[in-house]
Amino acid sequence: MKIQLDKDKNSAHSFTAKNENGFKVKLSNSSAGEPTGPSPMETVLMAVAGCSSIDIVHILGKQNLKVDDLNVMVEGLRREEIPKIFTKIKLQVHLKGKIPASKALRACQL
């Protein structure tokens, strides 16, 4: 897996990341003026939500349980000092479908 990141020519704080399939994500420094995209740290939280959601749907699907709807809220807490790494990431998962609560909980825990 490879990702290429290029600085946008017309901005000191905007970048474009591209994967091997050509899909692009615009990234921006959210503390510098008017952002043109999510910050890299925001995309980390988006990735956590996306990866978790894919796994949850897959795990439940293997049990022949259909997810009618899924919503994930992600909250990341960061250090005040640089590097401002995440110290805690909290996910709140909302599932809709005929899914027993115990199986939903287990899929989220995995």
Q: What is the pTM of this model?
A: 0.87
- What pLDDT shows up at residue 83? 94
Residue 76, token pair as written in the block: 């990341």
Give the closest residue to 70 by CA, choosing from 38, 40, 41, 108.
108
CA distances from 23 to 11, 16, 41, 70, 80 (A): 21, 10, 19, 24, 33
Question: What does the alpha-carbon distance between residue 84 and residue 101 come to, in Å, rounded to a whole number?
Answer: 36
- What pLDDT shows up at residue 34? 79
Question: Residue 44: CB partners within 8 Å, gap ≥ 6?
Answer: 76, 86
Q: What is the CATH number of domain 39-110?
A: 3.30.300.20
Mean pLDDT score across all residues of the chain: 94
